[in-house]
Amino acid sequence: MPEQLPPGEAARVHRALDALHSMIYFAPEAEEELSAVGLRPGRMSYFASRSAPMGPVSTGVTTATFYNFNPALVARHIPRAWSLASVEDILAARLRAVDRALRRLLGDEAASAPAVVEAAELARIAATGLPPDGRPLYAAHAGLEWPEQPHVVLWHAITLLREYRGDGHVASLLTGGLSGLDALITHTATGRGFTEQAAKATRGWSDEEWSAGVDDLRRRGLLDDDGLTPLGSEVRAAVEADTDRLAAAPWLQLGPERLARLIEVGRALSRTAVNAGAFPANVFAASR
């Protein structure tokens, strides 16, 4: 087993796979299934379905683990969601939505397609047995039972890998001195994340709060009229490098040959899902 990954490799595999997880946040099937068990459509369904593996947690826990959402937005939906639907019903509804959405995006035979089966096996190996230390969202999802259908196994494995990386990313942002709003503004400034309009709308920040955050980052020398300053770019680069370092364990245990194969198959499946309409237009400035 190699001791470290080539630079940028962890980010590369994340980009290759992530659409197969994050499609669920835009899928109409998720709204339908989660509404059917009692949740309100929109942000409530998102917050409750993603935090449900941790149990009926508080506003503070959801805000802390999700990191870049406005706490006021979270508070409008959590903990109220837990009075409308049980954690067990939410988790079951989420998997039903995954099953339906991936069949729509990858084809009716997605459950038995050879590429899906292969990717599911490789992703499961990568996602199994990772150290949970300091990784609350990963640990919560890792405590769930594995689904049985290969396409849903693939989604669950990529979810584990995404939350593992995300937990490490939060640690890296904290080390870099970036709050949740700082992280959102500076990432948007790179041109590789949300558009500013989408960032405000999806994360719940007002124009006034965003402007105050921009002013603070200017005062700290991280932003100027042209976007990120050299110092801002240095801080973001350090965060991304540290995120990759903290995300390396799954890929090291998979090994270079199987990792290369997972990237190849995962990228093709992701492209199929995106081309089938997994995401609305004009949400992202570019693929991260």
* pLDDT single digits (tens) 110-146: 888 999 999 999 999 999 999 999 999 999 999 999 9
Give yes or no for residue 286 having a pLDDT over 80: no
Q: What average pLDDT does this structure show over 170-189?
A: 97
Cα separation of 45 and 36, whole Å? 11
* pLDDT single digits (tens) 91-104: 999 999 999 999 99
Question: What is the DSSP code string of 136-167?
Answer: HHHHHHHTSPP-SSHHHHHHHHHHHHHHHHHH
137, 172, 148: which is closest to 57 by C-alpha? 137
Q: Specify the pLDDT at position 139.
A: 98
Q: What average pLDDT does this structure show over 207-234?
A: 97
176, 172, 194: which is closest to 185 by C-alpha? 194
Give yes or no for residue 283 having a pLDDT over 60: no
User: What residues does each domain of the chain span?
Assistant: 9-23+110-275
Cα separation of 39 and 46, whole Å? 10
pTM reported for the whole predicted model = 0.94
Q: Specify the pLDDT at position 7.
A: 87
Length of the chain: 288
